[in-house]
Structure 1
């Protein structure tokens, strides 16, 4: 029988035939796809004709179609619906893929062809997009070690393979800790919890096969539990388990893995001639250097820490009023902050949540995309990889644009967090292909599913990434969609969050789960007034994580990352009751792969722009101003990585912004 991963897909829109694919199909399909890609690369390298853009760069762009299809399916299910077999396959695939790509980057004949084209670039008659793709391809080979020789080349190959293995182990250890821990709740433990938290705890208990409700380490359950449970002992137990992910000793402990990853990254950077990994990593980003990153983060740290310390003093006083002696602890902050928010803004999360139904928030995100960009969404009934998933065809003026898949609920088989990926990216070469875009979240199940305001913001954030993929309009897949500088990739996602806060959007889509009534005006006013509530806490926990990440990579790799983390936090004076958003043993952004390594700052770098970008709509008089929407699509959302990020932003806004817009947006300006 033909392997369904390698056969022609005759499904609607050539979606992967998930109902025909079994876990036993992946390994043979990968081997066949690797063989095919290897043969394609060999043919390009051995081409007797003089190198040209068409027979070298475009040939590389066209190569590996089967491999892209196999990996697009496999990594979708491995991240969002894992099982022991898929974890085993992931451990086997990681070093195999690292070796494959190392083999390509060390192909001397291929690199000579690229180097020749790079030297001749001014005489090749390339258009702007082609010139950009040539530059990025040549630079990618150089940064992968293509120019290395002998022992240095061999060591680079070893490092890449080991890093791939370690990143997979880090991810799987974290998933195991998150999947295996839960805390049973007796009926008396539910006292004081809002109905939506109780419902989520019962649903989580059913998913775990527990006799009753449980608290798990899913953010959408543990955070509201920490906000509302009056039981300080239970909050402490849950928080300590959450904070200890990846650091529990035994086979799932990530601390030694983190140390080895950092050492290998430093060695990799030095083999390529860089003083440290941060210098290597940031060279291609908007920031350009560790100094510029530190400058931004420290400009925000001072005001954020001052706000957090003032807020902490008020919360500690509330703790003492409850008869508890001693200091405010990390498991206390969210509980007393929620009490304070209710007192100061008369805003009760439990009263707000019924107005934030998942289905209505999905509708809201679609409606904003329709008003801004003319996109329409039609539900699709197609087989997907999990019953929780749903899909839509995206069209504009009746023309197919993309397929969008949403996978919104937390489950034990899904890694934590939220993300967007393209199972197929937009391109026009070697053939026209429309994107297939996936949003994955970890919201608590319910009937109906209700979101916190932070959850709703996450939904809009990930859909902003999806729009970047869906509206892409470039020729080459390598620069399509979100293939941009890491500190620019969060701009579309963070910018889209602003539309959740547009009053007319909330008025239309924030309707009560039981009554269907629109959110009352006074509640809407309170939601918007409280938008910056607790920003000191949120900014401090984020910036602390970003500064630790930077410190890990801008000097010698620390032999003991936990000691280095403690040193950085002590120097910063991190308030006692606030922890890093992601402590080292569960800092998946940084250690599951190279994506955000030395780059966790990028959310804040992008936020400098997103605050300023939304101001362009406000200055135009409407969040749905058609001219600003058209400029956003033409200069940012459709252009992928076809030009430098700063150039794209200036084309949209006319200038680059300063940090003032960010401080004002977070309510931290003096």
Structure 2
């Protein structure tokens, strides 16, 4: 009913995840080279004093950031969030507040006036709970204090359990059904309110609201079990794998002479075999430079192994999801999940890369033939990919000086100013407002409306911090001046309840502001970016980002700006709270901008980046990796099909069969990579979303931005057709309006086929791909 899912936490993309686990490797995004058109390019707006401040703040090392003269506060400026215990007290007060609001909604059936407020009040209820759940999700992942983390775990589980109960509340469902079935009330709903109401309705239906009481209880139990299994699965995906044991003789002829000599000396000195851990520099060096197959085979198998317990956790999660779907009358979890997504089935994206991948694979086989002097076209094994097609690091399309973290943020601010009239500005941080002194706070400022939200940037690696990059929605935007919250408090007379309610309301009422030119007062969004860049130091200077790190930052800022610009009346459809297979479009599109020399000129304050060819290249094996991602999308579908329900379900056998029937590189017996496939939890049955949105983003880039990427009119069109609506409008309608493609409005089979054709065009037309 309340629609809270892991969708407001966006971690690194499949490209980054698979590369980090040694399964896929560095490759370029599917973007076109920027070319100059015959028309005049838009002139970049000049850098400002705020841009210079951003560079200094991120690039100059210091123990703490701006806090002088500000009084002590709690997390995110909430005065009471100063201790782990206060977090638990906030959760308890929020639950009391939610119970009062729930009672008000249930009683709406007795009041004509209240029926017109049901959708608004359901969204307020969702906002109450999601605000605390989202904060808990961040704290348990980012806070360095284990006591805070423990309190966040308790808060998260308590709040999610309460939400699962609400999802099966028959009285709430009946009230919503009354609203939607009453012509006068239903017709009074605007388009966004209707979309929000339908989201609530679908969530109720997915929760088996029409089941007998004992089965609804079973639904809550299964949902809680899935939550626990999911957290356990994610913890296990990051657990270390056992080492490979390599004989020194197997490393003869290493291409990496420096490290190779060091390894052989180490073996000579210890007079024993080498122990090589997956993911280590030694393991990477062996996979890329060891001429003999055996050490590469050993490292590959070690990196892709699983314990029986890890496999059991995944299969228990998949089985529980299948049981949940069956409980609500769906054949499988995939059937239950895909009903409200853009792609009712991802089949349209599944087959077209095969010929390109086969061509690339043949090229690798010819290299292996030459290397080993074998008969024609030997089989390429999984451990051969890196040796015969070594991935070069991604590089920009023009020659650039080293890019510091501050310079890239300055470039982002200038890009947003040119496209949307929005800039990033440093903001003072009060003592206690952040969880670590590394954290910087940025105001997002609209040239018309002023501050429209805040971004907290926690960008430097530290011990205990999760690896990779992620975007967390801590607070969503929504309209608040028509809340009519006083009526919630009827019947809450005792002093203790009143005190608890005040605590919850103080949290809920924070960061509200009237937006000039809008119809009311809005709660402004708050997001957090987590990355693991190297910290600047006095001796080594500012943080210099590798090109793949610049890509990562642009990707995550795409999510952040979706959250900032989304200005809906309802938080349940705000910003990134939209269909899973639509939410990656803004972030992937942001990566395309880095293919434009015009955009890259924004990294220089004076605009003096030379427009000349750099070390731009496409990974010749990209089509193999794309085909592998398609296989994993298919695996995700199989794992969430009825096939996962029997007690003898074998996830490893399914993986092996998929590779035997659809794969190009043979499955390696004894491996079970699926236990490292973390997206199976957060993106269950929707892993295809990255490929799907990649196709749409590429089309948007080509149609709208490639020839004049800083055009303000185009930027405003994209902002107004896509970003501002969040999930409050059908994504097919948004895409069709943006691309002037009315035939796609209904999102039918032909629309899906059209997206499939876009993928074919991208594979064929990009230069240097094969």
TM-score (normalised: structure 2): 0.70
- Contact 1:304 1:668 (8 Å CA) reproduced: no
Which residue, out of 467, 478, 493, partners 1:427? 478
Structure 1 residues 499-549: Cα deviation after superposition (integer angstroms, max 9, x where no partner): 0110123345389xxxx99578242xx31xx14543123302311211110
**SS in structure 2 opposite 1:394?**
strand
Write out aligned runs for 1:171-210 (5 A).
171-177=234-240, 192=256
Q: Residues 406 and 313 of structure 1: is their aligned pair in 2 closer, same or farther, counting only changes over 3 Å?
A: farther
Instruction: Name 1:659's counterpart in structure 2.
Output: 756
- Contact 2:414 2:602 (8 Å CA) reproduced: no
CA distance in 1, matches of 2:122, 2:165: 14
Instruction: Name 1:604's counterpart in structure 2.
Output: 691
Which residue, out of 394, 413, 423, partners 2:444? 394
Instruction: Name 1:112's counterpart in structure 2.
Output: 174
Q: Residues 416 and 435 of structure 1: is their aligned pair in 2 closer, same or farther, counting only changes over 3 Å?
A: same
- Contact 1:426 1:474 (8 Å CA) reproduced: yes
- Contact 2:399 2:612 (8 Å CA) reproduced: no
**SS in structure 1 opposite 2:524?**
coil
Which residue, out of 43, 48, 56, partners 2:104? 43
Which residue, out of 351, 365, 375, partners 1:298? 351
Instruction: Name 1:208's counterpart in structure 2.
Output: none
2:642 equivalent to 1:555: yes
2:302 equivalent to 1:267: no
Instruction: Name 1:100's counterpart in structure 2.
Output: 162
2:505 equivalent to 1:455: no
How far 1:645 sits from its partner (Å)? 0.7
How far 1:469 sits from its partner (Å)? 0.7
TM-score (normalised: structure 1): 0.79
Write out aligned runs for 1:479-518 (5 A).
479-509=573-603
**SS in structure 1 opposite 2:584?**
helix
Write out aligned runs for 1:217-228 (5 A).
217=279
Larger radius of gyration between Structure 1 and Structure 2:
2
2:571 equivalent to 1:477: yes
Structure 1 residue ranges without an equivalent (≥5): 1-8, 184-189, 199-213
- Contact 1:369 1:375 (8 Å CA) reproduced: yes
Instruction: Name 2:424's counterpart in structure 1.
Output: 377
CA distance in 2, matches of 1:445, 1:461: 20
**SS in structure 1 opposite 2:228?**
helix
Give the count of matched residue pairs.
610
Instruction: Name 2:676's counterpart in structure 1.
Output: 586
CA distance in 2, matches of 1:381, 1:215: 43
Higher percent of residues as helix = 1
**SS in structure 1 opposite 2:456?**
strand
Instruction: Name 1:201's counterpart in structure 2.
Output: none
CA distance in 2, matches of 1:248, 1:600: 24
How far 1:456 sits from its partner (Å)? 2.2
2:248 equivalent to 1:154: no
Instruction: Name 2:193's counterpart in structure 1.
Output: 130
Q: Residues 492 and 574 of structure 1: is their aligned pair in 2 closer, same or farther, counting only changes over 3 Å?
A: same
How far 1:601 sits from its partner (Å)? 0.2
**SS in structure 1 opposite 2:203?**
helix
Q: Residues 280 and 49 of structure 1: is their aligned pair in 2 closer, same or farther, counting only changes over 3 Å?
A: same
Structure 1 residues 386-417: Cα deviation after superposition (integer angstroms, max 9, x where no partner): 33332211102161121112233344523344
Instruction: Name 2:94's counterpart in structure 1.
Output: 33
CA distance in 2, matches of 1:510, 1:338: 32
In terms of mean alpha carbon deviation, does 101-110 or 159-168 score higher? 101-110
Structure 1 residues 58-104: Cα deviation after superposition (integer angstroms, max 9, x where no partner): 11222365544433322112123466546655654555334311221
Which one scores higher on RCO, CA 8 angstroms, separation ≥ 6?
A: 2
Instruction: Name 1:286's counterpart in structure 2.
Output: 342
CA distance in 2, matches of 1:386, 1:318: 54
CA distance in 2, matches of 1:194, 1:30: 55
Instruction: Name 2:412's counterpart in structure 1.
Output: 365
2:233 equivalent to 1:170: yes
In terms of mean alpha carbon deviation, does 436-445 or 105-114 score higher? 436-445
Give the aligned CA root-mean-square deviation in angstroms: 4.2
- Contact 1:532 1:666 (8 Å CA) reproduced: no
Q: Residues 378 and 123 of structure 1: is their aligned pair in 2 closer, same or farther, counting only changes over 3 Å?
A: closer
- Contact 2:330 2:336 (8 Å CA) reproduced: yes
Q: Residues 584 and 401 of structure 1: is their aligned pair in 2 closer, same or farther, counting only changes over 3 Å?
A: same
CA distance in 2, matches of 1:19, 1:332: 57
**SS in structure 2 opposite 1:285?**
coil
How far 1:193 sits from its partner (Å)? 9.3
Q: Residues 38 and 62 of structure 1: is their aligned pair in 2 closer, same or farther, counting only changes over 3 Å?
A: same
Instruction: Name 1:409's counterpart in structure 2.
Output: 460
- Contact 2:80 2:86 (8 Å CA) reproduced: no
How far 1:378 sits from its partner (Å)? 1.3
Q: Residues 369 and 577 of structure 1: is their aligned pair in 2 closer, same or farther, counting only changes over 3 Å?
A: farther
CA distance in 1, matches of 2:217, 2:651: 27
